[in-house]
């Protein structure tokens, strides 16, 4: 989508951090913006800021862990702007800790927001984008933790790996319909994700409180010292206009992924030399289609 002027964007987690920065970038490109967030106070402040920038904006309270809430937000967005072309499934939370120490609610919360929130946003908005037939674009926020595993952050990492995989599949499915899909994989960005428990839904119970305070503080400082989120927003606009699948914002982290890729390639080489597999006649089909 090269021309964004006059089109509308929907952004979850839009009241702060990367979400708000994407909204600023979309507004600067001439788009109308619907911010969605679970925190109504922050949402009101963010919408006011966009309007002060002469951006046509509105806000809707949305709990991305609730399918019905996301569907209502989609309907309100279409009612406000008529059509939606860009959907950013951006809302995310962070949870982690030593193996065996995490509460079940930590896993449930992280998967519900980071993974299922992306599913609900995609499924809620896809019919609306298909209905106008003008194409569109989904941006799903993952993380570099969706490319490399971080010990101690398994719930977060699992959810972000899933977002990468889903986005890759959806990109292939939707390309023939002129609907693009990008997966955003930032490194450390100056956001409030270290405070994400402030919006934790009651049904998931209280967060684990036995984490090492020194490690918690170290993680906080990494985030607070991270990249300016407005640079991420600008990078997202570039990627949408260029039709990029993977959106990276921290090129200096490339060696970490290269090391992972090298280890995986070496594992395939060991499989090729494995006595247990020697002489096997099975060959994987050159073309795999699950459905037409």
Work out the burial of residue 201: count CB atoms within 10 Å of its CB; fewer than 13 is exposed, 13-18 middle, 19 or more buried: middle
Residue with tokens 């970490």: 256
Token digits of residue 109: 């919360």
Residue with tokens 């972000």: 160
CA distance 165 to 151: 20
The vertex-198 CA angle with 196 and 199, nearest 5°, equals 80
Residue among 120, 156, 161, 246 flagged as catalytic = 156
156 in catalytic set: yes
Residue pair 139/182 in contact by the 8 Å Cβ criterion? yes
Q: What share of the chain is helix, strand, coil (3-state, %, to 5)?
A: 55, 15, 35
Taking the C-alpha atoms of 227, 233, 238 and 242 in order, what is their torsion angle to the nearest 10 degrees? 110
Q: Which residues are catalytic?
A: 156
């Amino acid at each position: 989508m090269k021309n964004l002027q006059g089109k509308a964007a929907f952004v979850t987690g839009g009241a702060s951090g990367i979400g708000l920065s994407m909204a600023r970038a979309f507004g600067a490109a001439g788009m109308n913006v619907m911010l969605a967030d679970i925190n109504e106070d922050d949402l009101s402040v963010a919408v006011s800021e966009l309007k002060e920038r002469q951006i046509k904006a509105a806000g809707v309270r949305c709990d991305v862990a609730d399918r019905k809430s996301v569907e209502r937000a989609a309907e309100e967005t279409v009612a406000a702007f008529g059509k939606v072309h860009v959907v950013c499934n951006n809302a995310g939370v962070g949870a982690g800790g030593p193996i065996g120490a995490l509460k079940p609610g930590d896993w449930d919360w992280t998967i519900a927001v980071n993974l299922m929130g992306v599913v609900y946003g995609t499924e809620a908005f896809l019919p609306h984008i298909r209905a106008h037939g003008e194409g569109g674009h989904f941006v799903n926020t993952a993380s570099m933790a969706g490319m490399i595993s971080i010990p101690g952050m398994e719930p977060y990492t699992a959810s972000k790996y899933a977002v990468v995989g889903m986005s890759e599949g959806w990109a292939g499915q939707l390309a023939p319909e002129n609907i693009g899909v990008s997966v955003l994989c930032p490194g450390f960005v100056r956001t409030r994700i270290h405070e994400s428990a402030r919006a934790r839904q009651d049904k998931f119970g209280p967060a684990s409180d036995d984490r090492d305070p020194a490690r918690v503080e170290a993680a906080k400082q990494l985030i607070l010292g991270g990249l300016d989120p407005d640079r991420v927003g600008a990078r997202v606009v570039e990627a949408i206009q260029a039709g990029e699948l993977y959106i990276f914002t921290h090129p200096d982290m490339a060696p970490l992924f290269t090391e992972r890729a090298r280890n995986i390639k070496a594992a395939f080489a060991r499989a090729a030399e494995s006595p247990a597999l020697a002489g096997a006649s099975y060959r994987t089909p050159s073309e795999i289609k699950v459905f037409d």
